[in-house]
Amino acid sequence: MLALSFSLCRKELAVGQVSITVNGAEHILELEPRELLVYVLRERLGLTGTNVGCDTSSCGACTVLLDGESVKSCTLLGVQVDGHEITTIEGLATNGTMHPVQEAFHEQHGLQCGYCTPGFIMAAVSLLDETPNPSEEEIRHALEGNLCRCTGYQNIVRAVQAAAGVEV
């Protein structure tokens, strides 16, 4: 009896086909076990807004939201998000109108080359969901998992402050 129930659950466990909801749309995908989430997003779904920087969860360029919480999609397997919801930078704008955080990065020029920007914006969205009125210190603490190698963090912090409604 035990052996029977075990073989049944093994069948369910043999993951290959997964169901992932990305930016509100459900995708049924056949994935290789070794595929990283970031490549599932970029190469299977064509969502190239999420960048790959370091492959080792150091730089934060690949930040997406998993069930609303920020995570680094280069150190997460696609099969691990089976049954879960992912939000990428492409999922922020509504009806052609940019998200307030995107708008603020544009207005405050919170970028130079732009490579790190999607990751910073996703980290900032995650912060403002949990802490709508963060102090500058809280903003800097919330962005510490993201690296900008062009310029620095002054305008990035200012953009997050602007998105939170602070006069900058």
Partner 1 sequence: MDVLTPRSLEQALRLKAERPDAVPIQGGTDVMVELNFDRARPAALLNLNEVAELRGWSRQNGRVWLGSGLTYAEAMERPLAEALPALAEAARTVGGPQIRNRGTIGGNLGTASPAGDALPPLLVCGAEVKIASVRGERIVPLPDFVVGPKRNVLAEDELILGVSVGGTESRQTFMKVGPRNAMVIAVVSLAVRVDGDLRAAFGSAGPVPTLVRAGLGDVDSFPQRVAEAASPIDDVRGTASYRRHALRILTRRALDRCLV
User: Would you say 123 and 63 are in contact if contact means Cβ atoms under 8 Å apart?
Assistant: yes
Q: How far is CA 65 from CA 11, 40, 78, in A?
A: 30, 14, 14
Binding residue (CB under 8 A) for partner 1 from 48, 80, 112, 151:
80
Contact characters 133-152, partner 1, x per CB under 8 A: --------xxxxxx------
Our CB check for partner 1 shows the closer of 137 and 167 to be 137
d(CA 80, CA 64): 14
Q: What's CA 145's distance to the chain center, in Å? A: 12
Task: Return the structure tokens found at 108.
Answer: 């405050």
E-assigned strands of the chain?
A: 17-22, 25-30, 63-66, 69-72, 85-87
Span from 90-98, 110-118, 122-130, 148-156 in contact with partner 1 (CB under 8 A): 122-130
Binding residue (CB under 8 A) for partner 1 from 20, 127, 159, 162:
127
Contact characters 31-70, partner 1, x per CB under 8 A: --xx-x------------------xxxx-x--x--x--xx
d(CA 85, CA 150): 32
Task: State the minimum distance, in angstroms, from the CB of residue 19 to partner 1.
Answer: 13
Interacting residues toward partner 1 by CB under 8 A: 6, 9, 12-13, 15, 33-34, 36, 55-58, 60, 63, 66, 69-72, 74-77, 79-80, 82, 123, 126-127, 141-146
